[in-house]
Structure 1
Amino acid sequence: MFSKDIGIDLGTANVLIHVKGKGVVLDEPSVVAIETTTKRVLAVGEEARRMIGRAPENIVVIRPLRDGVIADFEVTETMLKHFINKVGARSWYSHPRILICAPTNITSVEQKSIREAAERSGAKEVFLEAEPKAAAIGAGMNIFEPSGNMVIDIGGGTTDIAVLSMGDIVTSSSLKVAGDKFDESVMRHIKNKYKLLIGERTAEDIKINIATVRPGGLQREMDIRGRDIVSGLPKTITISSGEVQEALSDTILSIVAAAKTVLEQTPPELSADIIDRGVILTGGGAMLDGLEELLSQELHVPVLVAEDPMHCVVKGTGIMLNNLDKVSKKKF
């Protein structure tokens, strides 16, 4: 019989859904396109993402989640309903139990809005879990032993850093510096240096294809097109990995500083475990060239990128679905 338990990684950049017994069945951008006059939803997910920066005035393309939390409640609800229906987890006679992940330091009001959006999208029951906990479980870490495990989950809107032991978070930090801020830093650098305006999608392409965070790391070049601020006309320039490293420097250093703070607040016995086991990197940001080497150098502990870092959180929800009774419905 098909189980109706589903796990959702409700990310700022992407929504991923795990259906119990089926695995990860959906991975789509957290984007919705709406016709402004009729308020009709035209596209959701990948189809809507392709419209970013290219839609006419009567169509607004919305990313309803910002910095890991809901910025537009109604659009988030619409998006969730669409995705839940798409994976066939809801029908007229049954409603799923939903396990949903959120950053560690969100307020009780923000937690309530996530829960309400899930309930109104057709959930029978809603369980909330901390993102770094799901990421650690999805990365294959055994967090239920009395020993220290550290995870750094770099998503689209937030970076969540946590030390876990005996199935729970011991110390943690969540900062609103992640994939979106990397894109903004690249856009700002190109605007300031070349007087060229580029869009979000171009900035993301640069980050994926040629970005490095380590001096002397990746050595690539890329032609990019945008609008010249002075002439207002289209223009093409070539940028290098070294320039992107320079552009990302400050944002990466803020993640390093937060990781150091978490380690400083960690009990000595658990710190010793982390030196043995190392730190696991998860999330899309984990794939930035040179990040594991830079973090290892700055934190003085081994740092490893998880296998399939993009799917660690949603895989973690899938494992947790087997033990839903142990997951809190209340504030974590």
Structure 2
Amino acid sequence: MGKNNFLNAFSTDIGIDLGTCNTIVYIRGKGIVASEPSVVAVERGTKKVVAVGEEAKRMLWKTPGDIIAIRPLRDGVIADLETTEKMIRYFISKVLQRRWFVKPRMVIGVPSCITDVEKRAVVESAEKAGAREVRVIDESLAAAIGANIPIFEPAGHMVCDIGGGTSEISVISLGGMVVTNAIRLGGDEFDESIIKHVRTVHNLIIGEGTAEGLKKQIGNATADKKIEKMEIKGTDAITGLPRRLEIDSVEVRDALQEPITAIVEEVKRTLGLTPPELAADIIERGIVLTGGGSLLKGFDVLIAAETGVPVFRAEDPMNCVAIGAGMYFDYDKNLRNGANDYTNL
């Protein structure tokens, strides 16, 4: 047994979806072991970590002057290298509590639209956090593996991964991406659109948490027979005083029109670039939606109506990228061995 094979036999394989909103960690053989917000709270000046993940998110916009809550990723890429490294180190130490005999191998899902410099920053952060070997994989390919799509088939499969900072639409065949388009727009823009709408129409300033709550509870991409209502609280933009407001699902849908339309147009553009033979496969097999943004009610119905192609939401859309990243080394081994049967994974 060679040195690399020996190390691999005792190594832990970790898949990470390093998302703008959430970081999800998958360990091969164990499944999803961590899913927390991509937020780090640090002391101002010393940059000492005070909290990470769920606890840090609760501090976002509520911290005293000596503590800063940071979201180190923006639009699916690293905006703060040092803080990202600390966040990855925290998650690794949390899920691998015993002392490492062999440093883990790590695969990280990244948007296809990021630059080589940005990819290098991801690899560097993971290496500094303690990984022995680091690979990056395009998010839509990872999502396809995680969604159990038979990607080795000589047939076209379309995956639309809608994350917090980016949306990526890809056509996959024979284990590779034939066409891929990505835009730096996702669930974060949904929240920002709601914040902007409430401020413009009602002169009420609300935070990201309130906007996210509106999106999840009464947000809808298509007209619904039942109109839902929700009470929110914020600051009056004119008086500066706290104020309550009741808002309905029709208004939330109107607020979301711009980012939703942009994603639908990108799906249509990708279909237009797809070779005819593969397009025929997609019409038969449909489009698979993954990512947290795909959970917006009615999004699958809207895309199907706009494209004329069946649309299905993956069984576990939030975790597909992390699961696929964790399975990547098996996928890579099969690819190098000339495998054409996905069931070997």
Query: Which band: TM-score by shorter chain?
Result: over 0.9
Counterparts of 1:311 and 1:133, CA distance in 2: 13
Whether 1:269 and 2:259 are equivalent positions in the alignment is no
Counterparts of 1:13 and 1:122, CA distance in 2: 23
Asked if the contact 1:134–1:317 (Cα under 8 Å) also holds between the matched residues in 2, the reply is: yes
Asked if the contact 1:68–1:157 (Cα under 8 Å) also holds between the matched residues in 2, the reply is: yes
- 83-92 or 63-72: which moved more? 83-92
Asked if the contact 1:98–1:125 (Cα under 8 Å) also holds between the matched residues in 2, the reply is: yes
Q: 2:82 aligns with which of 58, 66, 74?
A: 74
Deviation track 1:19-64 (CA, whole Å, cap 9, x = no partner) reads: 1221111111100001103321100000001111221122111000
Equivalences for residues 272-283 of structure 1 within 5 A: 272-283=280-291
Deviation track 1:237-275 (CA, whole Å, cap 9, x = no partner) reads: 000110010000011010011111110100000000000
Whether 1:103 and 2:111 are equivalent positions in the alignment is yes
Counterparts of 2:311 and 2:178, CA distance in 1: 19
Counterparts of 1:222 and 1:191, CA distance in 2: 16
Aligned to 1:311: 319
Q: Which runs of 5+ in 2 are unaligned?
A: 1-8, 337-345
| Structure 1 counterpart SS, 2:321 | helix
Q: CA RMSD in A?
A: 1.6
- 48-57 or 248-257: which moved more? 48-57
With over 3 angstroms needed to count, the CA separation of the structure-2 counterparts of 1:8 and 1:277, relative to structure 1, is same
With over 3 angstroms needed to count, the CA separation of the structure-2 counterparts of 1:190 and 1:222, relative to structure 1, is same
Aligned to 1:184: 192
Aligned to 1:148: 156
Q: 1:60 aligns with which of 39, 53, 68?
A: 68
| Structure 1 counterpart SS, 2:33 | strand
Asked if the contact 1:281–1:303 (Cα under 8 Å) also holds between the matched residues in 2, the reply is: yes
Q: 1:201 aligns with which of 201, 206, 209?
A: 209
Aligned to 2:339: none
**Identity across the alignment (%):** 49
Aligned residues: 328
- 35-44 or 121-130: which moved more? 35-44
| Structure 2 counterpart SS, 1:260 | helix
Deviation (angstroms), 1:321: 3.5
Deviation track 1:147-178 (CA, whole Å, cap 9, x = no partner) reads: 00001100110001000000010001111110
Deviation track 1:177-228 (CA, whole Å, cap 9, x = no partner) reads: 1000000000000000111111111111111111011123652111000000
Asked if the contact 2:10–2:102 (Cα under 8 Å) also holds between the matched residues in 1, the reply is: no
Counterparts of 2:128 and 2:283, CA distance in 1: 44
Aligned to 1:34: 42
TM-score by length of 1: 0.95
Aligned to 2:5: none
Aligned to 1:257: 265
Counterparts of 2:283 and 2:217, CA distance in 1: 32
Counterparts of 2:180 and 2:51, CA distance in 1: 37
Deviation (angstroms), 1:77: 0.3
TM-score by length of 2: 0.92
Q: Which residue type is aligned with residue 215 of structure 1?
A: A
Q: Which residue type is aligned with residue 199 of structure 2?
A: K
Deviation (angstroms), 1:121: 0.6
Counterparts of 1:152 and 1:90, CA distance in 2: 37
Asked if the contact 2:15–2:327 (Cα under 8 Å) also holds between the matched residues in 1, the reply is: no
Equivalences for residues 224-303 of structure 1 within 5 A: 224-303=232-311
Deviation track 1:111-152 (CA, whole Å, cap 9, x = no partner) reads: 111111111111111111110011111112111111000011
| Structure 1 counterpart SS, 2:103 | coil
Q: 2:175 aligns with which of 161, 167, 171?
A: 167
Q: Which runs of 5+ in 1 are unaligned?
A: none
Aligned to 1:112: 120
